[in-house]
Homo-oligomer: A and B are copies of this chain.
Amino acid sequence: MKRSPLAPESFPELPPVPGVRLAVTRAGYKGWDRADLTFAALDEGTTVAGVTTKSRCPSPEVDWCRTALPLGRARALVVNAGNSNAFTGNRGRAAVEAITARVAKALGCQPSDVFVASTGVIGVPLPIDKAEAGIDSVLCSERATWEEAAATIMTTDTFPKAAARSAVIGDRTVNIVGIIKGSGMIAPDMATMLGFIFTDAAVDAAFLQQMLGAANRQSYSCITVDGDTSTSDTVLAFATGKARNAPLTSVDDPGADAFQAALTDLCIDLAQQVVRDGEGASKFITVDVTGAESDASAHRIAMSIANSPLVKTAMAGEDANWGRVVMAVGKAGEPAERDLLSIRFGMTEVARHGLAVEGYDEAPVAAHLKGSEIEIGVDIGLRGGRATVWTCDLTHGYISINADYRS
């Protein structure tokens, strides 16, 4: 698969995170010649938080993580690529149990300290023999780099995705590194979004959960490729505590604000990289809604615009079709007054107070839409609610990837 035209130029420089040891191996979940099992060993004392798919039909891996997360402890992470193990009944559950038991035995920890995520074909139970052999192999593999890990969790992604931030807590500088995969949902691979964040900060598990939840609302919850939702979406954050800062336990702790800001910024970076690898994407689109009844209302309007096939095809066609934006505002079902609505593409307002701006300068709009980074601004004109979400355009490439193909 050709690298997305929206991909960053190169893989970022990433610092090590003390307390995390990465390794990868080839379990052979598919008939491919690449590593497909990623392993992270985490030092004792590591705390964990996570957010998972809202799907009502989650994979057994998601069920497992949801059960283990409240305990707040982690010693290892296993990520399988090529088989999502979703919709596989008891055999899928058995595979998760076999993986966690085997890792727990090797590390001398509880199975609930072992987190698992899988991505790939659904409806086929993860082969337990391959998973077990893969784990045995990865436990004695050499240390892998961030880039190797980011590449090994990929399925149909066209580039490995990672980012890092740092924050100062008291007299310590802590690092946060994240890797992520996902590019919409490609069959048969259900290109699930899986994200893994590692920090050497000492953070209480419950507070880490609170901060990850807040970051999620401004990042992963604000992106869409096709509006479809995987049964396996998972983001986990691990804090090893090796930076030896005074552990963060509440928003009132010194450094908590800085850590939250760094974490949120990291998550936005990672989330945007997923959009930049959207299936068939040729343009990265920022939808900015202001003046809504509330922030939640603004978010729903922004997602209605970002998910509209007509808006997304108009952007693919570089067409300043603000009528489709009005349509998407109208169908969101949120408070909106036709005669108060204003719409801009880039910096140029094309409709104001419910009317086309007569004789607006089309040149900057055309130039903006020709670019690969597009901004659609909508002011609802009611109150102060605002939201920003990110999406990509809808092109022939999306159809080719998803229709010109048999599973």
Contacts and interface: CB of A to CB of B under 8 A. Distances in A.
Nearest to A328: B228
A405 B123 CA distance: 40
A333 B56 contact: yes
Nearest to A402: B313
Given A231-B330, A338-B58, A314 B89 contact: no
* Most interface-central of A124, A190, A395, A403 (chain B CB within 10 A): A403
A28 to B, nearest CB: 21
Nearest to A184: B310
Interface string A299-322: 000000001111001101111111
Contacts of A188: 321, 323
Interface residues of A, number: 71
Nearest to A308: B228
A402 to B, nearest CB: 4
A327 B228 contact: yes
Nearest to A189: B323
Contacts of A320: 407
A339 B90 CA distance: 9
Nearest to A88: B355
A84 to B, nearest CB: 8
Contacts of A394: 309, 399, 403
A354 interface: yes
Give this chain's copy count.
2
Interface in A375-407: 393-396, 398-400, 402-407
Nearest to A406: B319
A157 B310 CA distance: 17
A313 B351 contact: no
Contact of A310 (B185, B332, B355, B393): B185
Given A57-B326, A336-B56, A338-B87, A187 B321 contact: yes
A187 B338 contact: no
A313 B335 CA distance: 33
B87 A316 contact: no
The DSSP consensus for interface residues of chain A is: loop
Interface in A272-316: 307-310, 313-314, 316
A354 B402 CA distance: 23
A379 B364 CA distance: 52
A187 B406 CA distance: 31
A317 B123 contact: no
Contact of A309 (B124, B396, B398): B398
Given A356-B123, A394-B399, A403-B313, A331 B229 contact: yes
A376 to B, nearest CB: 15
Nearest to A322: B123
A54 interface: yes
A266 interface: no
Given A323-B188, A339-B89, A354-B87, A330 B229 contact: yes
B230 A327 contact: yes
A237 B318 CA distance: 40
A64 to B, nearest CB: 14
6 contacts: A56-B333, A229-B330, A231-B330, A309-B402, A318-B406, A396-B396
User: Lowest 9 CB-CB distances: which A-B pairs, in order?
Assistant: A55-B330, A57-B330, A313-B402, A229-B331, A122-B323, A317-B403, A313-B403, A316-B403, A57-B338
